[in-house]
Amino acid sequence: MDINNSVALVTGANRGLGRAFAQRLLERGARKVYATARRPESVDLPGVEVLPLDITDPASVRAAAEAAPDVSLLVNNAGIQTGTDLVTGSPAAVRQELETNVFGHLQMIREFAPTLARNGGGAIVNILSAMSWFGGRGAGAYHLTKAAAWAMTNGVRLELAEQGTLVTAVHLGLADTDMAAGWPVDKIAPSDLADAALDGVEAGSAEVLADQWSRDVKSRLPLTPEEFNTAMDHALAALTTT
């Protein structure tokens, strides 16, 4: 798929990674970029077409699909992290993360899949995380949702292959956004993450490991759980002491 002359829709485009995606899409020649947010007035990027969208509200998702019948590239970026543990944390917070990070993305795919089919197949980009593969205290719910979103991405890729829709999973460690502001470590620039993802789409890639952290974590998956946890403990300790 060629980004130039594409028509893209980006969720959560008012800040952070979503805003960077919308900006890089414009700079790389997209014919139109729908920039969506729950508060559309918060989108401040010139040159985009702004749409209101709450991905946890099926009626809002359906309205966005009806307003954007020409989309050929869907970027599922919107997400939340509540800092909730699975055993002792709020069940409502766990469900909120699932509704946004998993079911919200799936609802977008279900509504826009027919649009993509009519427009030649197109592509879907799902922004995931290295935390698809590991968890930690204060991030159990986030790990759960990203692992589920990874499985969901792999599943819809198979289901949409026949209509010619590329589904690209994008994994990263930390990006230099508000969500990661409290971590004094190296982070990928949002524009670099967007370029890595869009390069992956143009190359027809099913998966993009956008930084060394995500590549290192995935390389440990063949280890036993005990070996994996020990390796991650060492990696996290090194990360927070450098």
As given in the structure block, the two tokens for residue 132 are 């698809």
Determine whether 32 is an active site residue: no
Residues 6+ apart with CB under 8 A from 74: 8, 9, 108, 109, 112, 116, 122, 123, 124, 125
Q: Which of 32, 142, 187, 218 is catalytic?
A: 142
Determine whether 34 is an active site residue: no
Which DSSP letter does residue 220 get? Answer: T
Residue with tokens 């970027």: 75
Q: Which of 34, 146, 187, 218 is catalytic?
A: 146
Known catalytic residues?
Answer: 142, 146
